[in-house]
Structure 1
Amino acid sequence: MTRITPLTMDELPDETQAALKFSENLMGYVPNSVMTMAHWPELLGAFRGLVSVIYGESAIDNGLKRLIGAVVSAAAGCQYCKAHTTLGARDVGVDEKKVKAVWDYQSSDLFSQAERAALDLAFAAGQVPNAATDAHFAALDAHYDERQKTEIMAVISMFGFLNRWNDSLATALEDKPFESASSLYQPDQWQAGQHRR
């Protein structure tokens, strides 16, 4: 049970309902994390704005952004976000084999050196204490310009917020991401834990 009760659609103002219905049509569900944020409408609006910028017009492939979110969430230990990001990667067209191999990105031939550099930074930055080093950014320099590096950092940082939000609240995992992650990964790679009681 989520530690702050998510609101229901009926409890939201009409304009918020309309925005979330758009998300529901796009994703097939409304995330419980969003319905919890809805207790503070200004926070929800600001968060929706951040997400739309990060996943909008982009200098970095949106599939890679979802995989960055998955790896930073794995480092932070957030099973809720691991399920959401890997489903999101599939939804934007990342090959299922690649999504399935994301936890082995360092050795899998499905990942390029550029992708590995971004995912290495994501894994390091998701740890506590933060393990990102100058070497991680030097590795990025071989593949990405300043704008692209800024986008990579924006994804990592957004999931820093989401990982803390969802793990602290034990946000209940919705059926669609639960079924996706359960079908993709072995129990040693992903378990819903506190997010699916």
Structure 2
Amino acid sequence: MAHLRPLENHEVDQELREMFTHYENTRGFCPNSVKTMARRPNISKTFGKLNQVILYEGTVPEELKMLVALASSLASGCHYCQSHMTNLSSIYKASDEKIAAIWEFETSDLFSAAERAAIKVGLKAGTLPNDVTSEDFDELKQHFDEGQIVEIVATIALFGYLNRWNDTMATQLEAVPAQVTERAVGHTSWEVGKHD
């Protein structure tokens, strides 16, 4: 059970209502994490802007950013973020088969060499202590320029924040990402855990 109730549209200012509506229009729901952060409007608004710049701008494909965030969230153990990134990976054209194969990314034919390099950094950076090596960066540099590497690491860092936020708050998982996760990885040992 969530430790704090997400705020409703009538409890926030116009700018946050517009932000909530944007999420509803693009994802089919507004994340409860954002609605909980809204108790301090500037945190929610600033997070929304940072999220936009990191995940949806730049030259690294959105699908890959979502898969990197999924790998990092799997490593950190946040089931809320795992479900959200399963949903966003699906929205950005990753197949259910590819999403389900994320743990086998190093050997699966579903992943390119560039994807493998980025997902490996996401997975290793999501663990504590961080396990990323200079060899991992050498591999990244074979496929991505320095600006793209910044995008990949920014994606991981964004989810460092979100993984801590949602696991600490026990944020309640919404129906849409729960349904997509059940469809894509329901046959695995994934469960909603504290986010029910």
**Structure-2 residue corresponding to 1:157:** 157
Is 1:46 aligned with 2:30? no
Compare 182-191 and 24-33 and name the one that shifted more. Answer: 182-191
Q: Which moved more, 1:92-101 or 1:118-127?
A: 92-101
In the alignment, what sits opposite 1:35? 35
Cα distance in 1, alignment partners of residues 18 and 116 from structure 2: 38
Corresponding residue for 1:77? 77
Report the residue type matching 2:7 in the other structure. Answer: L
Which amino acid is the alignment partner of residue 49 of structure 2?
G
Cα shift at 1:100: 2.4
Q: Residues 117-132 of structure 1: matches in 2 within 5 Å? A: 117-132=117-132
Distance of 2:78 and 2:121 partners within structure 1? 17
* Alignment of structure 1 residues 1-197 onto 2, 5 Å: 1-186=1-186, 188-196=188-196
Q: Alpha-carbon deviations, 1:84-111, whole Å to 9, x = none?
A: 0011011122223222222221111000
Q: Report the more deviating stretch, 67-76 or 5-14.
A: 5-14
The alignment's C-alpha RMSD in Å is 1.2
Q: Is the 8 A contact 1:59 1:148 kept in 2?
A: yes
Please give the alpha-carbon distance, in whole angstroms, between the structure 1 residues aligned to 2:187 and 2:90: 20
For 2:179 and 2:84, locate their aligned partners in 1 and report how far apart those are by CA, in whole Å.
Answer: 11
SS at match of 2:130: coil
Structure 2: which amino acid aligns with 1:79?
Answer: H
Shift of residue 138 of structure 1?
1.0
Distance across 1 between alignment mates of 2:187 and 2:98: 18
The answer to whether the 8 Å contact 1:103/1:189 transfers is no
Task: List runs of 5+ in structure 2 lacking aligned partners.
Answer: none
> TM-score with structure 2 length normalisation?
0.96
1:12-43, Cα deviation, whole Å (9 max, x unpaired):
11221122111111110011000001001010
Aligned-pair identity in percent equals: 39
Segments of 5+ residues of structure 1 without an aligned counterpart are none
Deviation at 1:130, TM superposition (A): 0.9
